[in-house]
C-alpha cells in the first residue's frame, strides 16, 4: 500500500512535537525523515530522549554535514554533549559544549539577542544558553562546583537580556542544573526550590519530557531534604511516565534514585528498582549507549 510522504508542515510539526512536545514516544519508524538541518536536530533530540544513542549520533553527524549555520551547529554540538553526559562522559561532553559556546557566543556581541531567523527553531541566545548550561553540568560532573556556578550565573544573565520574551526551554534547563549544583553543594532546600521552579515552568510548556525530568529532580531534592514519602511517590510517577513514553534514560535515572530510597516502614527491601536499573542498562547498550566505567577506590 502506498503511503504518501508527509507535507513539509506535517513533517516539521511531527518532528518538533517528538523533540519538544507531547509525543516524545514516537518510534524511529514513526518519525518522518528530516529534510533540512533544523528537522535533523529535532529528530536527533527525539531519538536521544528515547536513549537511541546510535541513531541520534547518526543524525547529529548528518547535521554537521548539512549546514554551516552556527546556531544549528551549536545546538547540535550541545545535544552531542548531552548524550555523552547522560552516560557519565562529562569531560568528553565538555569538548562538544565548548565548541557550541565558541560557535555561538560571538554572535551575541554583534546582534540583538533575538536574532531574526528564516525558519523556526532556536536563536543565538537559546543556543548560547544550551552551551553554558551544558558546560556547567560538565563541570559539576567533574567536581568543579564553583565553575558550574559561574557558568550558570552567566547563562542567567544572558536570559535576562531578553526577559520580555522568556524562553521556557533554556529556563527549565537552567533550573535543572541549578538544582543539581545545589544538591552537590549540600544545599538541599535550595535544590528543592530550584527543581520546583523548573517543574512549574515545564508544566506550562509543551514538552512532556521536560516535565518528567523536572519531576524527577523534585523527587531527588525531596529525598535530600528528608521528605522520603514525597520522593518515593514522585519517583514512581516518573517511572510510570517513562515506561509509557519510552523515555529510557529518565527511566534508568528514576530507577537509580529509587534504589537509594529507604524501604517503607515495615516492608522488606524492594529489589524491583535494582532490577529495573539492570533492564534499562541492557536496553541502553542495545541502543548504542555506553556508560563510562566507574573506578572503585
Q: Determine contact, residues 179/199, Cβ cutoff 8 Å.
A: no
Which residue has better confidence, 243 or 297?
243
> pLDDT digit string (tens) for 40-90?
999 999 999 999 999 999 999 999 999 999 999 999 999 999 999 999 999
**Residue 109 banded pLDDT, cuts 50, 70, 90:** confident
Number of Cβ atoms within 10 Å of the Cβ of 61: 14
**pLDDT of the residue at 6:** 56
The grid coordinates of residue 91 equal 569531560
Average pLDDT, the chain: 92
> pLDDT digit string (tens) for 182-221?
999 999 999 999 999 999 999 999 999 999 999 999 999 9
Mean pLDDT throughout 230-252? Answer: 97
Query: Is the pLDDT confidence value at 30 over 50?
Result: yes
Mean pLDDT throughout 26-42? Answer: 95
Amino acid at each position: 500500500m502506498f503511503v504518501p510522504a508527509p507535507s513539509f508542515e506535517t513533517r516539521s510539526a511531527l518532528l518538533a512535537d517528538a523533540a519538544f512536545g507531547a509525543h516524545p514516544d514516537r518510534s524511529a519508524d514513526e518519525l518522518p525523515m528530516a529534510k533540512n538541518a533544523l528537522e535533523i536536530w529535532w529528530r536527533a533530540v527525539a531519538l536521544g530522549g528515547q536513549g537511541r544513542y546510535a541513531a541520534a549520533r547518526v543524525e547529529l553527524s548528518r547535521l554537521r554535514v548539512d549546514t554551516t549555520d552556527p546556531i544549528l551547529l551549536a545546538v547540535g554540538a550541545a545535544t552531542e554533549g548531552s548524550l555523552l553526559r547522560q552516560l557519565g562522559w562529562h569531560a568528553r561532553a565538555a569538548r562538544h559544549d565548548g565548541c557550541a559556546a565558541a560557535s555561538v557566543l560571538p554572535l551575541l556581541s554583534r546582534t540583538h539577542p533575538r536574532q531574526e531567523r528564516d525558519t523556526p527553531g532556536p536563536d543565538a541566545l537559546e543556543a548560547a544558553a544550551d552551551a553554558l548550561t551544558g558546560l556547567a553540568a560538565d563541570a559539576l560532573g567533574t567536581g568543579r562546583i564553583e565553575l558550574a556556578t559561574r557558568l550558570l550565573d552567566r547563562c542567567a544573565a544572558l536570559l535576562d537580556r531578553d526577559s520580555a520574551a522568556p524562553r521556557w526551554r533554556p529556563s527549565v534547563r537552567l533550573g535543572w542544573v541549578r538544582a543539581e549544583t545545589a544538591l552537590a553543594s549540600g544545599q538541599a532546600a535550595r535544590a528543592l526550590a530550584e527543581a520546583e521552579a523548573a517543574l512549574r515552568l515545564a508544566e506550562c510548556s509543551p514538552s512532556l519530557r521536560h516535565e518528567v525530568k523536572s519531576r524527577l529532580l523534585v523527587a531527588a531534592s525531596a529525598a535530600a531534604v528528608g521528605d522520603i514519602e514525597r520522593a518515593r511517590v514522585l519517583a514512581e510517577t516518573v517511572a510510570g511516565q517513562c515506561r509509557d513514553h519510552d523515555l529510557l534514560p529518565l527511566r534508568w535515572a528514576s530507577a537509580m534514585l529509587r534504589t537509594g530510597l529507604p524501604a517503607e516502614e515495615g516492608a522488606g527491601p524492594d529489589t524491583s528498582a535494582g532490577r529495573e536499573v539492570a533492564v534499562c542498562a541492557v536496553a541502553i547498550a542495545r541502543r548504542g549507549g555506553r556508560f563510562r566505567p566507574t573506578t572503585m577506590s
